[in-house]
Amino acid sequence: MPHIVDPAKCEGCEACVPTCPTNAISMVDAKAKISEECVDCGTCIEACPTSAISPP
């Protein structure tokens, strides 16, 4: 199950995108979207400056 992005907190900075080892993060309507390719490694959570990403 992929991590959860809170669209109210996501500012679309894309800091999380290059950290994902499975390329599971894309930007949709200027917000991060995490696909089922997510392996729950947590690198995106650490990279997010607004704490918009949380575990499933």
pTM greater than the 0.85 cutoff: yes
21-34 residue pLDDT tens: 999 999 999 999 99
* pLDDT for residue 4: 98
Residue 9 to residue 50: CA distance in whole angstroms: 6
CATH number 3.30.70.20 is the correct assignment for the domain at 4-50 = yes
* pLDDT for residue 7: 97
Give the SS3 label for residue 44: helix
38-55 residue pLDDT tens: 999 999 999 999 999 999
Distance linking the first and last C-alpha atoms of the chain: 6
Stated as kind and residue range, the H or E segment containing 28 is strand 25-28
Q: Which residues contact 30 (CB under 8 A, 6 or more apart)?
A: 12
